[in-house]
Structure 1
Amino acid sequence: MEATKAVQGVRFSAMLQFKRLGRTESNDSLRMFGGFKEQLFVSSKLHLTTPSRRIRGRMVSLVVACLHNNVPAPTLESGSFQAPVDEKLILKIKSQEIQPYLSGRCIYLVGMMGSGKTTVGRILSHVLSYSFFDSDALVEEQVDGTSVADIFKKYGESFFRNKETEVLQKLSMMRRHVISTGGGAVVRPINWKYMHQGISVWLDVPVEALARRITAVGTDSRPLLHSKAGDAYTKTFMRLSALFEERSEAYPNANARVSLENMAAKLGRSDVSDLSPTAIAMEALEQIKDFLIGEDGY
């Protein structure tokens, strides 16, 4: 994990230097960062002959509804999963549908901690042939590799938020990236100014599900959840509820919303934890496309 953060930091710093020479398109970035193939996902070689966009969209919706009733869902917190072949195929079709509208704009994922931004972000970056960045990891790189938890302890939350804003400002000048933002990035209006240079997507997950996920993996890396001894789930749930209340008016500023509750209801699932990361990524692409079509007046 430390090696991954180090590579990501080097790529980010190098890219900033490169961007000062002028804006470039994706091909330039890929040539420059050819040495970091383990970080840059390559476009799938899948070639499809498909019907018109409107008919294809209807077909995909029907297949998705049938498919997810039979697909087991891995946890979003694990970061490791293997999507079924059919799920990957549908995701690829959706990514091809959105490319003409997206035009290389960055995608910013916002949401509460534990909402799956990193996991879903990696899936999106892969299928879109974008690069992936985690804003928290970039802040850590800016502070000599210090972890977010230690930054909070040593310098305080305001220091971290300032660094976070600096990172988002730099990212806003770039193209063809998927960015997983920190849970609190939404509280500063200036951050929305930067994120709206691209497309922002809110991963809306019920607090109860977030508390279960985070409790299962521990709260050591979550500085805003550190508390005294006691029932871990109850304390996590209470703290997350308070944080969501503070941020509830900010999240709707996102251009698109992926509601896991709505998804679960539509697919006949009783628990949002039954939704796979790939299914969530597909819904994100669908919501982004709807926003872009509305924006362009199609």
Structure 2
Amino acid sequence: MPKTFRYSPGKSLITDRLILEDSDCGSTIKVAEVDSSLPMKKKAVEISPELKGVSLFLVGINCTIKARLGNLLADALRYYYFDSDSLVEEAAGGKSAAKLFRETDEEGFHDSETEVLKQLSSMGRLVVSAGDGAVQSASNLALLRHGISIWIDVPLDMVARDIVENGIQFAESEITTSGSYSEVLAQLIALYEEMRVGYATADATVSLQKVAGQLGYDVLDSVTAEDMGLEVLNEIERLVRVKKMMEEAARPF
């Protein structure tokens, strides 16, 4: 399992006070159980030498599959996993404090988002689930260039159902999670239209709908986080290969 860090506010948002939570303890071994993430892990072993510890930034609307995907990728690549929104909230003193911070000093709140990204982008071997603040300014988008960014594109109706059924939490002021399905979907559509240009600057896009088509699934819910993870790794392999070819083509004779 990936090692998940929790931030405790201090002088530095990331490196000063990190508490390592080891979730490996207490696990049981089932001999007959098939590891559904095995194809991901095999692909990760193949591409890791070429990836050289470069961090991954997952952008796109928050949902269960995005969070699950981040943890799976961290596990497969032996990286650490962070959620940038959670770090911003913890730096502010919790969800309620973050909400108040955003309402009373929106510029300062966005500065905090940038500071978190700045520190994350200076580190390697991370999988970061990036909040929407990461794609809302040119300076933040530039910070994502320190790693590989992937747009995790999940159909909005699935995300809306996820929010209503599972109570997925969003950054304050984005989505009212207590609304009905139709209300939540309408808010998601508005948010998507606002963020789409920023999402599209990612190095690659992994669409759940496209993955379903590739696998021959008629029902989108059949797509698992493991399916998405393997496609992410395939995209990363392609990006690394293209970069290597460009570097070789630029070499003088």
Using the size of structure 2 for normalisation, the TM-score is 0.81
Change (3 A) 1:269 1:141: same
Residue 280 of structure 1 is aligned with which of 215, 228, 234?
228
1:20-169 matches, within 5 Å, as 36=20, 38=22, 85-114=34-63, 116-147=65-96, 150-151=99-100, 154-155=103-104, 157-169=106-118
Task: Indicate conservation of the 8 Å contact 1:168/1:191, yes or no.
Answer: yes
Unaligned stretches of 5+ residues in structure 1: 19-32, 42-83
Identity of aligned residues (%): 34
Indicate conservation of the 8 Å contact 2:160/2:184, yes or no.
Answer: yes
Cα distance in 1 for partners of 2:196, 2:6 equals: 31
Superposition deviation, residue 237 in structure 1: 0.8
Give the aligned partner of residue 226 of structure 1: 176
What is the Cα deviation at residue 251 of structure 1?
1.0
Match of 2:15 in 1: 16
Structure holding more strand per residue: 2
> 1:96, 1:136 → 2: CA distance?
29
Distance 1:292 1:148 in 2: 41
Give the partner amino acid of 2:182: T
2:144 matched residue in structure 1: 195
| Shift in Å, 1:220 | 6.3
Q: Which runs of 5+ in 2 are unaligned?
A: 25-32, 247-253
Partner of 1:235: 183
Separation of aligned partners in 1, 2:169 and 2:200? 29
Instruction: Sort the Cα spacing of 1:115 and 1:205 in 2 relative to 1 into closer, same or farther, 3 A.
Output: farther
Please, which moves more after superposition, 265-274 or 88-97? 265-274
Q: Distance in 2 between matches of 1:193 and 1:181?
A: 13
Question: Is the partner of 1:203 in helix, strand or coil?
Answer: strand
Q: Write the distance in 1 (CA, Å) between the matches of 2:230 and 2:9.
A: 27
List aligned pairs for 1:197-216, cutoff 5 A. 197-216=146-165
CA RMSD of aligned residues (A): 3.0
Per-residue CA distance 1:198-220 (angstroms, 9 max, x = gap): 11111011111111111212366
Amino acid across the alignment from 2:6: Q
The answer (yes or no) to whether the contact 2:59–2:129 under 8 Å persists in 1 is: yes
In the comparison of the two structures, how many residue pairs are matched? 235
Deviation at 1:10, TM superposition (A): 4.1
Q: 2:168, 2:79 → 1: CA distance?
A: 30
- Whether the aligned pair in 1 keeps the contact of 2:9 and 2:90 (CA below 8 Å) is no
